[in-house]
């Protein structure tokens, strides 16, 4: 029997649905939301039309700036997606990662390698010129992440706006953000603390289908795994040789997806299956029985990966947002709270 591609997609969606129901009925992840919510449920306060009259060109301005910057430096696209994740990972999506002072989040070890700040500043300057004191830095970050995703071949999703910018950014609050060597229980619990479920964890980790890591992040994994003086035995030998050759210095870079590093596709999941994941946390998603079925489903269907990535990015952008009249502000300069 030959199945049409739409029947395969349907079957895979059904499979994913069943896995989620199975996980939901176990007590491991009690807050699992329904994956069948393909029509994204965004926070009531966020609104697609938020800037329609106050800054009608907002989306166009951001998109053309992303085109401009990524044409000059394509490696910025993944960095901008990560910037949004790291913003939402502490104090919610409130632009706190952008605040620039000696003890702010961006100075923490977890923020190692974060880049793209100058892109946000450039966009903010243009928005302030065209619509002063209107568009929040948190909304800029989430829109930039969407446009950067599309730029590398990932899915498009409709944006909702109305996030305000926070006043606080503390380096020590970054200490809970996973750095690449934590176990799966830690990852699940960290995501849960942000209102994100296990499907969100596995599919958003799929952002590692593009971009790179500093060798510092994998040094222990390839030279001194669990203080054994040896490499992680789960790494495919040829890939380990490659990583060792590439990582002469901690400041060198390696691709997170060694097979198609610049394309947003499901090869990340296939690499994990083949022992070619760069980060230990990515590999751990394969060996844990709670997450491995999801790795297999996304490895099987690029289409499903794209669909669910869009849904989970909307969930991410909804994390602990500030929207009330008495909450946050619209920063004039993303690096500093208003005077």
Annotated binding residue at 2? Answer: no
Annotated binding residue at 208? Answer: yes
Q: Which residues bind ligand HEM (CB under 6 A)?
A: 78-79, 81-82, 85, 112-113, 115, 178-180, 187, 201, 204-205, 207-208, 210-214, 216-217, 256, 279, 281
CB of 133 to ligand HEM, least distance (A): 29
Annotated binding residue at 4? Answer: no
Annotated binding residue at 332? Answer: no
Annotated binding residue at 265? Answer: yes
Annotated binding residue at 113? Answer: no
CB of 207 to ligand HEM, least distance (A): 3
Q: Cβ closer to ligand HEM: 104 or 312? A: 312
Q: Which long-range contacts (CB under 8 A, 24 or more apart) does 183-191 make?
A: 183/284, 183/288, 184/284, 184/285, 184/288, 184/290, 184/291, 187/281, 187/284, 187/285, 188/28, 188/29, 188/290, 188/291
CA distance 288 to 226: 18
Q: Cβ closer to ligand HEM: 55 or 62? A: 62
Output Rg (C-alpha) for the chain, integer angstroms: 20
CB of 217 to ligand HEM, least distance (A): 4
Annotated binding residue at 100? Answer: no
Residue nearest to ligand HEM (CB): 113
Q: Cβ closer to ligand HEM: 54 or 224? A: 224
Rounded to whole angstroms, what are the CA distances from 8 to 2, 4, 83, 298? 10, 6, 34, 13
Q: Cβ closer to ligand HEM: 117 or 242? A: 117
CB of 53 to ligand HEM, least distance (A): 31
8 Å CB contact between 48 and 158: yes
Please say whether the dihedral angle defined by the alpha carbons of residues 23, 26, 29 and 30, taken in this order, is positive or negative. Answer: positive
Rounded to whole angstroms, what are the CA distances from 113 to 83, 106, 110, 184, 277? 10, 10, 9, 23, 19
8 Å CB contact between 47 and 173: no
Q: Cβ closer to ligand HEM: 79 or 308? A: 79
Task: Please give the annotated binding residues for substrate, written as ranges.
Answer: 178
Binding-site positions read 87, 90, 92, 94, 96, 105, 178, 208-209, 257, 260, 265
Enumerate the known binding-site residues for heme b: 208
């Amino acid at each position: 029997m030959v199945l049409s591609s739409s029947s395969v997609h349907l079957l895979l969606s059904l499979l994913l649905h069943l896995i989620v129901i199975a996980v939901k009925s176990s007590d491991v992840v009690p807050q699992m939301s329904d994956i069948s919510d393909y029509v994204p449920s965004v926070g009531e306060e966020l609104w697609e039309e938020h800037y329609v009259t106050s800054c009608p060109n907002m989306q166009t301005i951001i998109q053309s700036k992303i085109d401009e910057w990524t044409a000059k430096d394509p490696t910025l696209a993944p960095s901008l997606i990560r910037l949004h994740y790291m913003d939402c990972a502490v104090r919610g999506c409130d632009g706190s990662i952008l605040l620039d002072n000696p003890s702010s989040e961006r100075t923490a070890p977890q923020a190692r390698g974060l880049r793209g700040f100058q892109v946000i500043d450039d966009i903010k300057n243009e928005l302030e010129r065209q619509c002063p004191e209107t568009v929040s830095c948190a909304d800029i970050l989430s829109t930039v992440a969407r446009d950067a995703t599309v730029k590398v071949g990932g899915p498009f999703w409709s944006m909702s706006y109305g996030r305000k910018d926070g006043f606080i950014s503390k380096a020590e609050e970054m200490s809970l953000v996973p750095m690449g060597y934590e176990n799966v229980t830690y990852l699940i619990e960290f995501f849960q603390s942000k209102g994100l479920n296990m499907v969100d964890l596995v599919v958003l980790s799929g952002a590692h289908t593009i971009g790179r890591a500093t060798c510092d992040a994998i040094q222990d994994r390839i030279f001194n795994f669990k203080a054994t003086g040896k490499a992680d035995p789960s790494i495919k030998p040829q890939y380990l040789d490659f990583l060792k050759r590439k990582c002469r210095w901690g400041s060198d870079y390696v691709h997170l997806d060694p097979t198609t590093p610049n394309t947003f596709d499901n090869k990340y999941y296939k690499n994990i299956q083949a022992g070619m994941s760069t980060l230990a946390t990515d590999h751990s998603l394969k060996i844990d029985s709670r997450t491995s079925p999801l790795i297999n489903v996304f490895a099987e269907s690029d289409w499903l990966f794209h669909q669910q990535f869009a849904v989970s990015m909307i969930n991410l952008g909804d994390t602990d947002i500030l929207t009330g009249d008495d909450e946050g502000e619209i920063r004039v300069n993303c690096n500093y709270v208003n005077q």
